[in-house]
Structure 1
């Protein structure tokens, strides 16, 4: 009789989150790492904990795993309070940056090591091993030692070990950091494919936004132990909640400009008049337009051009001597030192309070159905791709 496939959580919606943190705090001496955080992680998806070094993402993962205990607050997994429970009693597996493989054991022995410790029957161990080898494309490498494997293969062994555990929750702490760019891309795809096929709940810590945006169903962006924004990748990119989110997400990030030198044609309008008071205006590099110096455009100086293969960028000096980056066409003939006019379609602009940095929902000069255009005609305004 055939053994059933490995059991994991389904990807269907569930009223109870896989993980729930309530007012969780953690300090190291006088340094507060997490000041008091509430977080629900949905079941059956991949949630990325993203942020710069020191934001608390790895500490948060360790609190979920039980490798650290919170100073206050509670941790629930599958509706059960596990705040004081050791890692072995939390029903989860982990994949680390360092792979954590035993060098003297074969691939097969590394994969089933945890099952042997749990005294799982030999037949069931073998079934789970073969299934995991198939899922991770490691069949034929069972007898090799870790030293005989590539970095990508070692990481797949770590993934296979997580799969055979049978746990529906997997925590991953920067699992691709030791791989080169080409391997990161392929292993990233493998992790995502496995997660979707098995319906596992994965919590994935990374400082690399490419991994977070490309893999996750939900991204939790952390700033100094607090949630700066949580949502789908497209939401964080297209609707940043504050200037931290705007300038962290995106490569290059969103450009922020002071409204003091922005022409009235590019400012938000309400009842026919521009909104009073200072603003910070955010525009993505791909939405910045360059043309001749003219009314309704910001005068800028081209300081540097950068070739990046499929893309190219212009480094521009603004009237206040600050610098922004615009994505440009490869054929831009202007040389460093050239004076140009900068503009954008205001439907692509984002507005932020200058003091708090929070997002302001102000009306554009146009709508999504009738996109706002700079106060120039198409013949008069030439975007970079047509600049001559």
Structure 2
């Protein structure tokens, strides 16, 4: 069964929606294409509608599962509540339009000069708190409560509340003997994480690019942050149908390949603590839903040195990942690829050439990190 495009009625005077014989669409009375396209190839499966629309024809982009296809409808419903990791149909970006990757309505690009409008969007108290933190960080000497109040032009009681909040989160530290404030230890932790993340990305980025070239799939690099993993680098696939991910996305430990690849190799005490904190949520019927199931899965990850996401976050996506271990065996990161399930039958475990590529590139990346 071929994919079916869901097109809205064409507004009068606008370009025709793209078809196999009419694409890219033309603006009425103009020879310039609007830049909006969709794939014409029959893919043999249905994709969830993206809700995107051509700015000049109003035609909907993406694909819709038929009403009687309850399996895909249920998968799309679950995916709507999952993190920002979804099936992506590569489309042409017309000049002057943006936002198509995230499933947003395409809109003209413009320089925002509405300074007053921006100010209305700020949270005043948060803005002041950051200003106080910035003042203390850049001060050459420890600052007293009165110094902060004078600098911010607020009363001492308000300044004290801001400082108490910052102190609670270890962003500032109060010296009890002279009651002055200095930068807190959490800033040091953030600094270390930032430097570590940047250095890892710089070293591993060339290997991610090679992994994408070898497999034709989107590759990504993730690190542990508290009780989740965050993607710190993504190299997108150029395939017409691929998984779109964005650096900065947070993902669960228990239902993603990159998460399990890190969790499996953590010291037992830390691993047990993180597993006990997990609130299991079933994104699909394949999602690991108990601690016992997760522990069994992690044992297999350690044995095979590779982790899988077998449509556990989204029925249409499968992932393969491997850990990046330091000399002591601690998982400093993980890397992997995301695949479109319908294009690779049997799930990620059946794609042995992909598994081999991920493990090979992970090993090369580890050696490079240890030498850096």
TM-score band (shorter)? under 0.3
Q: Which has the higher contact order (CA 8 A, sep 6+)?
A: 1
| Bigger helix fraction | 2
| Bigger strand fraction | 1
User: Under a length normalisation based on structure 2, what TM-score does the superposition of the two structures give?
Assistant: 0.26
User: Under a length normalisation based on structure 1, what TM-score does the superposition of the two structures give?
Assistant: 0.25
